Amino acid sequence: MPENVIKLWELSSTIGGKKINLPEMSTLDAITRQLPPGYYSTFRTFDEGKRVLGLQAHIRRLYEPADMQDVKVVVNADALRKYLRNILRDYSNEARVRVILTGEGKVYVVIEALNLLPPEIYLEGVKVVTTAVQRKNPRLKSTDFISTSKSTRAEISRRNVFEALLVRNGAILEGMTSNFFYLMNGELGTARHNILLGVTRRIVLRVARGSGLDILYHPLKREQVPNLSDAFITSSSRGIVPVVRIDDVSVGEGVPGPITKNLLEGYVNYVKQHAEMI
């Protein structure tokens, strides 16, 4: 599939997957903003479109809010897996997938070719900035946030900034499209409350505990950034991305630290062992 081609399917229990087009098909976010509000999950494939890391957790995060609100969903979770297998069968390379479940119970699948980050991103790290933008309900991955944060996303893209970190009452909680981790005094820290509990976040915590790290479940105060030795963000499509600068403050030595590198290696090995068949 050419790099710039994004495809959208509306799923149905009677006719299967119907490919549709919208006026704006340039990005996953542009498509999402044109669909009715609801919930979504985004992930990448492995093994030429055959496997996904934490797919069951992604699907559960999508369907649980609908179940709690007694939304009659057009396609159930088992059928969604079948449709994903059929759709991805035509892709010889890896894909980035977004599944959207609207408040009306409709299910959409958006797929684009996966463009991996350049290797130097993982070797050299990235710069991020802080923002006062907030999620309405951090526990739910709602499509509303994609619309309400549109201007901030455009601004960080214009400034060539990799990610924006959400700050509340002086505490760094998470990224706009990621979870945030930091290392200070030998402990790995991450917020536990007022954040989206990402699928990759949970896996990284599992890898960290397996490596013997102590976990501190507490958000980082912005004034503590100069005291950090490492920091990184996590997401399903990008894995672990080292952070070497937050606003105008360097993190540690200004390069990815050894613990972040070890966790990145551990995460890659975990993916090889645990990515599940669709």
pLDDT for res 249: 97
Q: What tokens does 21 get?
A: 């087009």
Across the strands, what pairs with 277?
51
Percent of the chain at pLDDT exceeding 70: 99
pLDDT tens digits, residue range 98-151? 999 999 999 999 999 999 999 999 999 999 999 999 998 888 899 999 999 999
Rounded to whole angstroms, the maximal C-alpha distance in the chain is 57
pLDDT for res 56: 95
pLDDT tens digits, residue range 95-108? 999 999 999 999 99
Strand segments, DSSP code E, in the chain are 6-12, 16-20, 38-44, 51-52, 95-102, 107-113, 126-131, 163-168, 171-175, 179-184, 187-190, 214-217, 220-221, 230-235, 239-246, 249-250, 276-277
Confidence category of residue 4, pLDDT binned at 50, 70, 90: low
Q: What is the mean pLDDT of residues 159-175?
A: 95
State the pTM of this model. 0.94
DSSP at 189: E
Mean pLDDT estimate for the chain: 94
Q: What is the mean pLDDT of residues 240-263?
A: 97
CA 142 to chain centre: 13
pLDDT tens digits, residue range 81-90? 999 999 998 7
Map out the domains of the chain with their CATH numbers.
6-113 (3.30.470.10), 119-276 (3.20.10.10)
**Cα separation, 104 vs 227, whole angstroms:** 47
Q: What is the mean pLDDT of residues 174-197?
A: 96
φ, ψ at 239 (rounded to 5°) = 70, -135
Amino acid at 71: V
